[in-house]
Structure 1
Amino acid sequence: MAKTNKTTETQVDVTDFINSYVENEQKKSDSFHLIKLMSEWSGFEPKMWGPTIIGFGSYHYKYSSGHQGDMPIIGFSPRKAEFSLYIYSPTEENKHLLDNLGKFKMGKACIYVKKLSDINIDALEKICKATIMYQNEHHECACHKK
Protein backbone atom coordinates (compact mmCIF):
# COMPACT_ATOMS: atom_id res chain seq x y z
CA MET A 1 0.00 0.00 0.00
CA ALA A 2 1.35 3.42 -0.95
CA LYS A 3 2.29 5.68 1.92
CA THR A 4 0.39 8.98 2.07
CA ASN A 5 2.42 12.13 2.57
CA LYS A 6 1.67 14.06 5.76
CA THR A 7 3.25 17.19 4.35
CA THR A 8 0.85 18.51 1.74
CA GLU A 9 -0.20 22.01 0.81
CA THR A 10 -3.11 23.30 2.91
CA GLN A 11 -5.47 26.27 2.73
CA VAL A 12 -4.45 27.63 6.16
CA ASP A 13 -3.59 31.34 6.04
CA VAL A 14 0.16 31.86 6.66
CA THR A 15 -0.29 35.10 8.62
CA ASP A 16 -2.96 33.52 10.83
CA PHE A 17 -0.65 30.55 11.45
CA ILE A 18 2.27 32.75 12.55
CA ASN A 19 0.10 34.94 14.74
CA SER A 20 -1.48 31.95 16.49
CA TYR A 21 1.48 29.52 16.59
CA VAL A 22 4.53 31.71 17.24
CA GLU A 23 4.59 33.09 20.78
CA ASN A 24 7.99 34.83 20.81
CA GLU A 25 7.82 38.34 19.29
CA GLN A 26 11.36 38.14 17.84
CA LYS A 27 10.57 34.81 16.17
CA LYS A 28 7.31 36.28 14.85
CA SER A 29 9.20 39.25 13.36
CA ASP A 30 11.88 36.93 11.92
CA SER A 31 9.13 34.72 10.43
CA PHE A 32 7.54 37.63 8.57
CA HIS A 33 10.99 38.77 7.40
CA LEU A 34 11.79 35.24 6.11
CA ILE A 35 8.47 35.21 4.24
CA LYS A 36 9.35 38.51 2.55
CA LEU A 37 12.83 37.29 1.60
CA MET A 38 11.85 33.82 0.42
CA SER A 39 8.92 35.20 -1.60
CA GLU A 40 11.28 37.63 -3.29
CA TRP A 41 14.00 35.04 -3.97
CA SER A 42 11.67 32.28 -5.16
CA GLY A 43 9.02 34.33 -6.94
CA PHE A 44 6.29 32.37 -5.11
CA GLU A 45 3.77 33.36 -2.47
CA PRO A 46 3.96 31.52 0.87
CA LYS A 47 1.67 28.52 1.41
CA MET A 48 1.21 26.30 4.43
CA TRP A 49 2.43 22.72 4.04
CA GLY A 50 1.24 20.35 6.72
CA PRO A 51 0.54 21.95 10.08
CA THR A 52 3.76 24.00 10.54
CA ILE A 53 5.82 24.42 7.33
CA ILE A 54 5.69 27.61 5.27
CA GLY A 55 6.71 26.74 1.73
CA PHE A 56 7.37 28.57 -1.51
CA GLY A 57 6.60 26.93 -4.85
CA SER A 58 6.53 23.16 -5.19
CA TYR A 59 8.32 20.30 -6.88
CA HIS A 60 7.36 16.70 -7.56
CA TYR A 61 9.72 13.94 -6.46
CA LYS A 62 9.68 10.24 -7.27
CA TYR A 63 11.94 7.69 -5.60
CA SER A 64 13.09 4.43 -7.17
CA SER A 65 10.87 2.66 -4.59
CA GLY A 66 7.89 4.23 -6.37
CA HIS A 67 7.11 6.62 -3.50
CA GLN A 68 6.34 10.08 -4.85
CA GLY A 69 4.84 13.36 -3.80
CA ASP A 70 5.09 17.12 -3.78
CA MET A 71 7.11 19.37 -1.49
CA PRO A 72 7.92 23.07 -1.31
CA ILE A 73 10.95 24.19 -3.32
CA ILE A 74 12.19 26.13 -0.28
CA GLY A 75 10.56 26.72 3.08
CA PHE A 76 10.84 27.01 6.83
CA SER A 77 9.08 26.23 10.06
CA PRO A 78 9.19 28.55 13.09
CA ARG A 79 9.52 25.77 15.67
CA LYS A 80 9.65 26.64 19.38
CA ALA A 81 13.39 26.05 19.90
CA GLU A 82 14.63 27.26 16.52
CA PHE A 83 13.77 27.73 12.86
CA SER A 84 13.94 24.71 10.60
CA LEU A 85 15.05 25.96 7.19
CA TYR A 86 14.24 23.62 4.30
CA ILE A 87 16.63 25.25 1.87
CA TYR A 88 19.70 23.13 1.24
CA SER A 89 20.59 20.71 -1.53
CA PRO A 90 23.64 18.75 -0.34
CA THR A 91 25.74 18.68 -3.48
CA GLU A 92 29.49 19.09 -3.74
CA GLU A 93 29.11 22.46 -5.44
CA ASN A 94 26.77 23.75 -2.69
CA LYS A 95 28.78 22.71 0.39
CA HIS A 96 30.88 25.90 0.34
CA LEU A 97 27.70 28.01 0.66
CA LEU A 98 27.43 26.99 4.31
CA ASP A 99 30.86 28.49 5.11
CA ASN A 100 29.51 32.04 5.41
CA LEU A 101 26.05 31.29 6.79
CA GLY A 102 26.89 31.98 10.42
CA LYS A 103 25.59 30.23 13.53
CA PHE A 104 23.51 27.13 12.61
CA LYS A 105 23.19 23.39 13.11
CA MET A 106 22.81 20.96 10.24
CA GLY A 107 20.09 18.32 10.37
CA LYS A 108 19.45 15.48 7.96
CA ALA A 109 17.00 17.47 5.84
CA CYS A 110 17.24 21.02 7.14
CA ILE A 111 19.30 23.77 8.71
CA TYR A 112 18.47 24.87 12.26
CA VAL A 113 18.82 28.55 13.20
CA LYS A 114 17.80 30.21 16.48
CA LYS A 115 17.24 33.70 15.02
CA LEU A 116 17.91 35.56 11.80
CA SER A 117 20.49 37.82 13.43
CA ASP A 118 22.68 34.71 13.89
CA ILE A 119 23.10 34.23 10.14
CA ASN A 120 24.35 36.07 7.07
CA ILE A 121 21.31 36.96 4.92
CA ASP A 122 23.44 37.20 1.74
CA ALA A 123 24.64 33.61 2.32
CA LEU A 124 21.04 32.54 3.02
CA GLU A 125 19.97 34.05 -0.31
CA LYS A 126 22.72 32.17 -2.18
CA ILE A 127 21.69 28.88 -0.53
CA CYS A 128 18.01 29.46 -1.34
CA LYS A 129 18.76 30.31 -4.98
CA ALA A 130 21.09 27.31 -5.34
CA THR A 131 18.34 25.07 -3.93
CA ILE A 132 15.78 26.49 -6.36
CA MET A 133 18.21 25.84 -9.22
CA TYR A 134 18.87 22.29 -7.97
CA GLN A 135 15.15 21.49 -7.71
CA ASN A 136 14.58 22.99 -11.15
CA GLU A 137 17.26 20.75 -12.66
CA HIS A 138 16.37 17.52 -10.83
CA HIS A 139 12.59 17.49 -10.41
CA GLU A 140 9.32 18.48 -12.03
CA CYS A 141 9.22 21.92 -10.53
CA ALA A 142 6.82 24.84 -10.40
CA CYS A 143 9.88 26.96 -11.15
CA HIS A 144 9.66 25.69 -14.78
CA LYS A 145 6.46 27.69 -15.11
CA LYS A 146 8.11 30.93 -13.97
Structure 2
Amino acid sequence: MHGPFNRGGNRKPMAEINVVPFIDVMLVLLVIFMITAPMLTQGVRVDLPQVTSEPIDDVDDSEPIIVSVDREGDYYISLGDDETPVSLDDIADQIIIILDRRPGTPVMVRGDRNVPYGQVVTLMSTLQVAGVTNVGLISEPPSSEN
Protein backbone atom coordinates (compact mmCIF):
# COMPACT_ATOMS: atom_id res chain seq x y z
CA MET A 1 0.00 0.00 0.00
CA HIS A 2 1.43 3.30 -1.04
CA GLY A 3 -0.09 6.35 0.61
CA PRO A 4 1.02 9.55 2.28
CA PHE A 5 1.14 7.88 5.73
CA ASN A 6 2.98 4.76 4.72
CA ARG A 7 6.70 5.25 4.17
CA GLY A 8 7.70 1.69 4.05
CA GLY A 9 9.67 -0.39 6.49
CA ASN A 10 12.98 1.49 6.36
CA ARG A 11 11.99 4.34 8.68
CA LYS A 12 14.67 5.35 11.22
CA PRO A 13 13.73 6.51 14.72
CA MET A 14 14.15 10.22 15.38
CA ALA A 15 16.94 10.81 17.93
CA GLU A 16 16.30 14.52 18.56
CA ILE A 17 14.50 15.86 21.63
CA ASN A 18 11.76 18.37 21.15
CA VAL A 19 12.76 21.27 23.46
CA VAL A 20 9.81 23.54 22.72
CA PRO A 21 7.73 22.29 25.71
CA PHE A 22 10.72 22.83 28.01
CA ILE A 23 11.12 26.40 26.76
CA ASP A 24 7.41 27.04 27.36
CA VAL A 25 7.65 25.77 30.93
CA MET A 26 10.75 27.88 31.57
CA LEU A 27 9.04 31.02 30.29
CA VAL A 28 6.00 30.37 32.48
CA LEU A 29 8.25 29.89 35.52
CA LEU A 30 10.14 33.07 34.65
CA VAL A 31 6.92 35.07 34.59
CA ILE A 32 5.79 33.52 37.89
CA PHE A 33 9.10 34.37 39.59
CA MET A 34 9.06 37.90 38.18
CA ILE A 35 5.61 38.47 39.65
CA THR A 36 6.28 36.86 43.05
CA ALA A 37 9.80 38.22 43.70
CA PRO A 38 8.65 41.74 44.72
CA MET A 39 6.12 40.18 47.09
CA LEU A 40 8.87 38.30 48.95
CA THR A 41 10.51 41.50 50.16
CA GLN A 42 7.83 42.38 52.65
CA GLY A 43 8.39 43.80 56.06
CA VAL A 44 7.34 46.35 58.57
CA ARG A 45 7.31 49.85 57.17
CA VAL A 46 9.64 51.79 59.44
CA ASP A 47 10.84 55.30 58.64
CA LEU A 48 14.34 55.07 60.13
CA PRO A 49 16.14 58.16 61.41
CA GLN A 50 18.94 59.28 59.14
CA VAL A 51 22.31 59.83 60.81
CA THR A 52 25.94 59.58 59.86
CA SER A 53 27.57 56.71 61.76
CA GLU A 54 30.05 53.93 61.29
CA PRO A 55 28.67 50.42 60.67
CA ILE A 56 29.04 47.91 63.48
CA ASP A 57 31.85 45.41 63.04
CA ASP A 58 30.01 42.13 63.18
CA VAL A 59 32.52 39.56 64.43
CA ASP A 60 29.79 36.94 64.63
CA ASP A 61 28.31 35.93 61.29
CA SER A 62 24.97 34.92 62.82
CA GLU A 63 21.73 36.55 61.73
CA PRO A 64 20.77 39.29 64.24
CA ILE A 65 17.46 39.49 66.05
CA ILE A 66 15.74 42.67 64.93
CA VAL A 67 13.03 44.15 67.12
CA SER A 68 11.04 46.80 65.23
CA VAL A 69 8.65 49.51 66.36
CA ASP A 70 6.51 50.86 63.53
CA ARG A 71 4.75 54.21 63.20
CA GLU A 72 1.66 52.97 65.06
CA GLY A 73 3.78 51.70 67.98
CA ASP A 74 3.35 48.00 67.16
CA TYR A 75 6.27 45.66 67.88
CA TYR A 76 7.74 42.99 65.60
CA ILE A 77 10.53 40.46 66.06
CA SER A 78 12.51 39.46 62.98
CA LEU A 79 14.94 36.58 62.82
CA GLY A 80 16.12 36.06 59.26
CA ASP A 81 13.10 36.19 56.97
CA ASP A 82 10.61 35.33 59.72
CA GLU A 83 8.88 38.45 61.06
CA THR A 84 6.19 38.11 63.71
CA PRO A 85 4.09 40.76 65.44
CA VAL A 86 4.39 40.61 69.20
CA SER A 87 3.18 42.59 72.20
CA LEU A 88 5.59 44.39 74.52
CA ASP A 89 4.76 41.90 77.28
CA ASP A 90 5.75 38.93 75.10
CA ILE A 91 9.01 40.38 73.74
CA ALA A 92 11.10 39.32 76.75
CA ASP A 93 9.78 35.75 76.60
CA GLN A 94 10.43 35.48 72.84
CA ILE A 95 13.95 36.90 73.12
CA ILE A 96 14.81 34.54 75.99
CA ILE A 97 13.65 31.55 73.91
CA ILE A 98 15.68 32.67 70.87
CA LEU A 99 18.81 33.38 72.91
CA ASP A 100 18.54 29.99 74.63
CA ARG A 101 18.61 28.31 71.22
CA ARG A 102 21.23 30.63 69.74
CA PRO A 103 23.33 32.25 72.47
CA GLY A 104 25.38 35.27 71.46
CA THR A 105 22.96 36.36 68.75
CA PRO A 106 23.16 40.16 68.35
CA VAL A 107 19.97 42.14 69.04
CA MET A 108 19.16 45.26 67.00
CA VAL A 109 16.33 47.79 67.41
CA ARG A 110 14.62 49.48 64.45
CA GLY A 111 12.50 52.36 65.65
CA ASP A 112 10.44 54.57 63.39
CA ARG A 113 11.53 58.20 63.69
CA ASN A 114 7.96 59.22 64.56
CA VAL A 115 7.69 56.86 67.55
CA PRO A 116 8.04 58.62 70.91
CA TYR A 117 11.48 58.25 72.47
CA GLY A 118 9.98 56.77 75.63
CA GLN A 119 8.55 53.84 73.69
CA VAL A 120 11.97 52.91 72.31
CA VAL A 121 13.53 53.25 75.80
CA THR A 122 10.77 51.00 77.21
CA LEU A 123 11.57 48.44 74.51
CA MET A 124 15.29 48.58 75.35
CA SER A 125 14.47 48.15 79.05
CA THR A 126 12.37 45.09 78.19
CA LEU A 127 15.29 43.67 76.21
CA GLN A 128 17.56 44.26 79.20
CA VAL A 129 15.15 42.31 81.41
CA ALA A 130 15.37 39.47 78.86
CA GLY A 131 19.14 39.31 79.42
CA VAL A 132 20.33 41.27 76.40
CA THR A 133 23.45 43.20 77.40
CA ASN A 134 24.25 44.90 74.08
CA VAL A 135 21.59 46.43 71.85
CA GLY A 136 22.34 48.02 68.49
CA LEU A 137 20.21 50.75 66.97
CA ILE A 138 19.55 50.63 63.23
CA SER A 139 19.52 53.88 61.27
CA GLU A 140 19.85 54.95 57.66
CA PRO A 141 22.58 57.18 56.25
CA PRO A 142 21.30 60.68 55.46
CA SER A 143 20.05 61.11 51.93
CA SER A 144 21.65 63.70 49.69
CA GLU A 145 18.28 65.43 49.25
CA ASN A 146 18.32 66.97 52.78
TM range (shorter): under 0.3
Higher helix share: 1
**TM-score, normalised with respect to structure 1:** 0.24
- Work out which of the two has the higher radius of gyration on C-alpha atoms and give 1 or 2: 2
Higher strand share: 1
